[in-house]
Structure 1
């Protein structure tokens, strides 16, 4: 056994399934004893604790527990001498993320964050085609969906998404913040408005609007919400030579300039994207598409700055690292 998955809800079970189907020896470390019995019944390897898994030879851990547990589970992983891939977001707050960074830097183990869209064929095509539109001056990103549709068989008000201290669309849809920083550069300041219109009757924010200017002068605006149907996930970049658009629902990239147009459509399934990320983590960990611990701190810092900005109604600084 080389790896374990901590937390066996919907995303943890997906990691377990894609890795087992690929022939990887992976064990589950469930949070509930009854869940362990269910998984054993389905033929999965189950470890009673992280320490047991480490004694059985596990050196890598995928942390897929609820966000409020990420800090404790990641620190426990590091204490057991394992490298960690933590589901997004790394933590609920920047203070928690910084404590993980201190622990990781004190040891010899590495921490990554699960930003699977970096392994999306269509998003990677968007990134590779970006130079074709010349100097980019503006980017618009939209990720809008309806929270009750996410897991129809589970009451959404009982999910972590609904809780103000660990959920909300800003943390839940942090993928968009991550790939905006990955592709265009991280901001020094953020202006944001978070809102709860009462449509879903949850404590966390239902919508977030963010704006920033990148170090190279690109204006980036994002709309994230839990209250829209049908779902959309798209990004459009405008540059001196044309426009480039990514449709994350259709896995489509479209290039348009005054002299040419081109389209790319990927047939990649979601499980293929998750597996590509997991194998990169279980391998040499040198794949440049893996989101690093520093990337994770940047994304959480943007979230913290956005929350502060929504209260102050001013731009707020993004400060991922201790000064």
Structure 2
């Protein structure tokens, strides 16, 4: 009795024994230019950040010599002390964290609830309302500065944190992002919860929110970064140095005749750390949230 070997995979179709390792090598050769390009782009993206780290450890006079310093210096603590003395960096960092956290918390709640309502509820004028929300994204911020300033002045909110938080709680991009994410939400889960007697709020917090965590994480990162980096509006609203946020405080270090570049570099470096930590914490959810509505099963 003879034993017949049954080929598998590619060998079954072609009749040629499969060589292990050859497809992997071929893929690596074909993708090598892409990998090289990505590495080169990554290095270019890191160069400004690396220069900021190096410049923050040198004196300002050392940054204008030839050749430029390529290694960290020994002036980090001196620059940090001068930064704290000139703008009270610890206080402005605390101010920025306070404003960004409060704004992010309330804005995300508003965006999630509005996006959920626009995606799941059927009512007259829903399309018109969505269109009006999207139109607001096309209005430049510079057009809104004067009327918003007059509104804040009439409310007595000048030089207050509520002026930085309240006017922008309804974020059009956040509402649109959550609405797109909720379009793929299985409506059968909501209907089953309603049949079981769950209220709308209970259904929203116990069923909808856990499923939408990736989109919410992406919205948290976007909202926090936008508020953290906001400059023009806080510059108009805040008059007291003790209330300054980081962008406004760093702007005061730019004088007419002298600029403390080392202090600016160090302040900018320390200001990016919360954003870096936030992205590391929500990295997987952020990527999943941005790609959640791109692929439909």
TM-score (norm 2): 0.23
Higher strand share: 1
Higher helix share: 2
Indicate the structure whose relative CO is greater, using CA pairs within 8 Å and at least 6 residues apart. 2
Higher Cα radius of gyration: 2
